[in-house]
Structure 1
Amino acid sequence: MKFEKNEIVTVTIEDIGNEGEGIGRVNGFTLFVKDAVVGDTVEARIVKNKKTYAYGRLEKVLVPSPFRVEPKCAWHRQCGGCQLQACSYERQLIFKQDKIRSCLIRIGGFAPEQVDACMEPIVGMEDPFRYRNKAQYPVGTDRDGNVVAGFYAARTHNIIAHTDCWLGPVENETILNCILEYMRDYKVSAYDENTGTGLVRHILIRKGFASGEIMVCLVINAKKAFQIFPDQDALLEKLTAIEGMTSVSVSLNPEQTNVIMGKEIYTLWGKDTISDTIRVRDMTQTGFPLTGKELTFAISPLSFYQVNPVQTEKLYSLALEYAGLTGQETVWDLYCGIGTISLFLAGNAGRVYGVEVIPQAIEDARKNAERNGIENAAFFVGKAEDVLQEIYEGGMADNDERMLHPDVIVVDPPRKGCDSVCLEVMLKMRPERIVYVSCDPATLARDLKVLCGDGYALERVRGVDQFGGTVHVETVVSIQRKTS
């Protein structure tokens, strides 16, 4: 059966796709319906036909699912950032647990019974809103020429004028409105992607949840930093009146590109960084109580720092637990960023080596080690695969056999996963255990298939919900080297 475009069909949603879309069947034909919740019976308008399936747009909910809830955000369908906001949080967690399991079986090639034996319950949030400590808002103009800020509509660069995202702290709305009011009052232009003209491109806001410190960085279409804004003091007066404001800066990005941040950043007021604290939690106890250990990090506009601080404590504590350290081990931390996981590990290891390709991040990592009084961590700049390969070939090891054959390797790669050469060198190093922290279950499963196909066995798997309301999920996995 093939549908006609714009045809209205009735369908019961039986499953959830990887991107959060509802999946149903009509006369054996699969239909994907965005914004439909598993258990719904809906009317959907056909928008695209394929040979064996079709896509529909939700027109009307005829019978609501028992899992359907009233979304907090009126723009959740247009924005596309919170694909699951209409679904109860309990059902979101089931979806994410199933997503991890399915990827390990379907992509990783692991047997279902093997995955089920290793999987632990997903770590959820007490309140899945107001959790993001970082947001990047595009700035533009509406049809009437008014300056607006918000988020891009799903799969477009059309800005939805919306300043109160339910995932970010309440201060974000005040900050955005201050900047927009200033831009209107002083005729400051917004960037136009089509022409490459206009000044303000994006507004980056970061908040240290533990410190209460706030950073604002305006990304501007300019080659110089100072006296760009008319009556700059008026802008700073508005922003610095906001409680917690610690840093105001500009990022220069004159390139016609989709990359948000420029390479040069200049502080206009306050500090260059803000600080935040991450504490170790006991993941073996109900409620995950704090252990009393804590680390403080300096965060710049370009720093990679997990966006959900409450869940990050659980994520990193889980990685520390999975590493199984006793205080004597040599550990490599690949894709280490500003040293967050490295410094967590250092408190329980003999020696930790971190690797990151961004020089500024490594500089921050070294400063963070010094800030926290940690002396048993060293950091290398470069691609993980390049640094490991050079170490393994003997060019940098200084005859330290434990660098070549560490006890534990921890990896926390970007969404694309590990480079194939990196996996190859990790296998040559033959650590007793590898702990893999992943933001994408699909690339995680792909890489685990390689590692577990050459001498390692799946040991423990646990999801951590860092991104309530969305389809994304973090996963921590430990794999153990098989005995000869």
Structure 2
Amino acid sequence: MATGQTTIDLGATPQVPQTKSTKQHGKRPFQGHHRKVAKYRKKEKTATEGSYEEVLLADVQALLASQKLTEADENGAAQTAEEAPLPEQGSEIEVDVVELSSTGDGLAKQKGSNHIYVVPFSVPGDTVKAKVYRRNHEEGYTAADFISVVKPSALRDDSRIQCPYFAKCSGCQFQMLDYAEQLKIKKNIVVKAYRNFSQLPPELVPEILDTIGSPLQYGYRTKLTPHFDGPPGNPRRGPKKSHSSMPPFGFTPKNTRKVLDIEDCPIATETVRKGLTEERARLAVSYGKYTKGATILLRESTKRVPKASHSDTPPPPEGTPSTALRVETDTHIDFKTCITDQNATSTEYIDSFVFTNPAGAFFQNNNSILSPFTAYIREHILPPPSTTSTSTTQKPIKYLIDAYSGSGLFTITQSSLFPGGSIGIDIAEKSIAYARRNAALNGLDESQCRFLAADAPELFKSVSAYDPDETVVVLDPPRKGCDASFLRQLLQFAPRRVVYVSCNVHTQARDVGVLVRGEVEGVREGKGKGTRYEIESIRGFDFFPQTGHVEGVALLNRLDA
């Protein structure tokens, strides 16, 4: 989730270097005008990272196959005819959107043609005007920029859109859709993830459950990282000029490198929106000090003061700025501020649990869903009686291993269910230090909740005393998912139950497929050979309403002979 740019406080020392973004959306050279339809055939590749490109290609290939573009025609004869020449780069065309990719982009066709166009900010049933900018011959599609709606889909209602930058800013894709429809789309994204990336036969994947929605659909995001570029034309070496006027300050639109100037973001919390306004005002005064661009951190932090009674009005904690937003409930008052220093400590509450983190570090950015989300994990983290095999009937679950534990979200919120104790393991020592601090803040000693910094090759050595029959493992890896070394150790340890939480359902599906097949290099022989898992359930959680993103929770039980 790195931005690829330096994160700074605009009130701090200026001229902090800005590194090149790790993900550019620059335009690529345009290619050719037409090809034989048969040459759209593309050799299938095994997905490795669950990237945007892989996910989009899987959906395009599925649509091509459904149109019989890569197979024989109805008479059994191979199709070799050429389609009409495709539009030139920069051409404006009308297309009909026939499907939605799991990337959130519409897949569209021109009348009389089966060629596929990828058009953002569109939904099935739309007829839209789009501008062609890149042809991907090997993949069989052309990318196009959204211009306008010619004829709206029955699903579309633009009066729902609450952001003036929608269809320009790349942050949201679905503001024109009813929220119930968004949740249906996200359920289908999970369905397709397991179909395309798990390499499992359909009978081994249970029906995907409905996606659980966010209590807030706007005003939920507790972290934003707007940025600005350095002055144009500055040389790489030698003296550099500073800005002569305030640069655009905001986010990068889809398919371009230019920053879109953004004054407000309605999916952010009130505190973060207020912080954006303040940082814009600060940049408007100090822009002349900057010779390079930078990314600005906006992170909400909360100080909670209990109330002695319903009518009690306790003062804010010492040091709370007068500009802090005040949120009152029957039991407490929250004082919310926006942090811009990535090394400062932010504080968040989930029900009665409190968590502190480095403000610039990862923590879930939708606090409103964390209460129902952690409650769902609590309700399902232990195996139901029906999944208990004969060999483990007399062994109740005692232990929790929270891999990729970060600052202890699951280790701490689930600890009360495990009499033998819960252990969180993470490679980042700084995260482990905060996790220990958070355990203490929540009144948990080491007998209930402990943390260990360990690299992947050493991870399960640290819990060798745990009986796998009495152990649940929770996984919450980064977007790239689990590597082969970790999955090998997991199969060798063979815990009774696995709860796999993921911010990328495509790499989750890939990894779950490995656990169900019991196949990973180094496990076909020796300890762990024959260990396989059965999927109990899979469902999505909508951490980011108005976007095409969905998080997944998969519950798995070890199959015993």
TM-score (norm 1): 0.78
Match of 1:158 in 2: 258
Q: Give the one of 41, 62, 73 matched to 2:150.
A: 62
- Kept in 2, the 8 Å contact 1:304–1:338? The answer is no
* 1:473 and 2:546 correspond: no
**Distance apart, 1:249 and its partner CA:** 6.2
Q: Distance in 2 between matches of 1:312 and 1:453?
A: 32
**Residues 293-312 of structure 1 correspond to what in structure 2 (within 5 A)?**
294-312=352-370
Query: Cα deviation per residue 1:302-348 (whole Å; 9 max; x = unaligned)?
Result: 34311111212222222222211798521110111100111112111
Q: 1:241 is matched by which residue type in structure 2?
A: T
Q: 1:382 is matched by which residue type in structure 2?
A: A
Q: Give the one of 274, 280, 293 matched to 1:174.
A: 274
Q: Distance in 2 between matches of 1:334 and 1:390?
A: 13
Q: Distance in 2 between matches of 1:300 and 1:119?
A: 35
Higher mean displacement: 306-315 or 413-422: 306-315
Query: Cα deviation per residue 1:375-394 (whole Å; 9 max; x = unaligned)?
Result: 211111133x23325337xx
**Distance apart, 1:452 and its partner CA:** 0.5
Q: Distance in 2 between matches of 1:302 and 1:174?
A: 18
Q: Secondary structure of 1:369's match? A: helix
Q: Secondary structure of 2:226's match? A: strand
Which has the greater radius of gyration?
Answer: 2
- Whose RCO is larger (CA < 8 A, sep 6+)? 2
Q: 1:36 is matched by which residue type in structure 2?
A: S
- Kept in 2, the 8 Å contact 1:417–1:443? The answer is yes
Q: Secondary structure of 1:314's match? A: helix
Match of 1:407 in 2: 471
Q: Give the one of 289, 296, 307 matched to 1:189.
A: 289
Q: 1:128 is matched by which residue type in structure 2?
A: Q
Runs of 5+ unmatched residues, structure 1: 194-200, 213-236, 252-264, 266-271, 280-293
* 1:22 and 2:106 correspond: yes
Higher mean displacement: 332-341 or 320-329: 320-329
Q: Give the one of 220, 225, 233 matched to 1:131.
A: 220
Match of 1:276 in 2: 348
Match of 1:4 in 2: 87
Q: Secondary structure of 2:459's match? A: helix
Q: Distance in 1 between matches of 2:218 and 2:552?
A: 20
- Among the aligned pairs, what percent are the same residue? 24
Higher mean displacement: 318-327 or 423-432: 318-327
Match of 1:318 in 2: 376
Runs of 5+ unmatched residues, structure 2: 1-82, 233-243, 306-318, 326-334, 385-395, 519-531
Match of 1:444 in 2: 508
Q: Distance in 2 between matches of 1:211 and 1:463?
A: 31
Q: Distance in 2 between matches of 1:73 and 1:16?
A: 22
- Kept in 1, the 8 Å contact 2:382–2:397? The answer is no
Task: Assess, with a 3 A threshold, how the Cα gap between structure 1 residues 78 and 369 changes in structure 2: closer, same or farther.
Answer: same
Q: Distance in 1 between matches of 2:550 and 2:374?
A: 14
Match of 1:80 in 2: 170
Q: Distance in 1 between matches of 2:131 and 2:360?
A: 42
**Distance apart, 1:463 and its partner CA:** 0.6
* 1:13 and 2:97 correspond: yes
Query: Cα deviation per residue 1:247-285 (whole Å; 9 max; x = unaligned)?
Result: 75645xxxxxxxxxxxxx3xxxxxx53322113xxxxxx
Match of 2:538 in 1: 461
* 1:339 and 2:339 correspond: no
More strand per residue: 1
Q: Distance in 2 between matches of 1:246 and 1:95?
A: 34
Equivalent pairs counted in the alignment come to: 411
RMSD: 2.7
Query: Cα deviation per residue 1:167-210 (whole Å; 9 max; x = unaligned)?
Result: 112233432333343444456623524xxxxxxx2321222468
Q: Secondary structure of 1:78's match? A: coil
Match of 1:422 in 2: 486
Q: 1:63 is matched by which residue type in structure 2?
A: K
Q: 1:17 is matched by which residue type in structure 2?
A: S
Q: Distance in 2 between matches of 1:183 and 1:59?
A: 31
Q: Give the one of 44, 55, 58 matched to 2:130.
A: 44
Q: Secondary structure of 2:539's match? A: strand
Query: Cα deviation per residue 1:43-97 (whole Å; 9 max; x = unaligned)?
Result: 3332222333222233332210111132211112221011222333222211111
Higher mean displacement: 456-465 or 297-306: 297-306
Q: 2:180 is matched by which residue type in structure 1?
A: E
* 1:206 and 2:299 correspond: yes
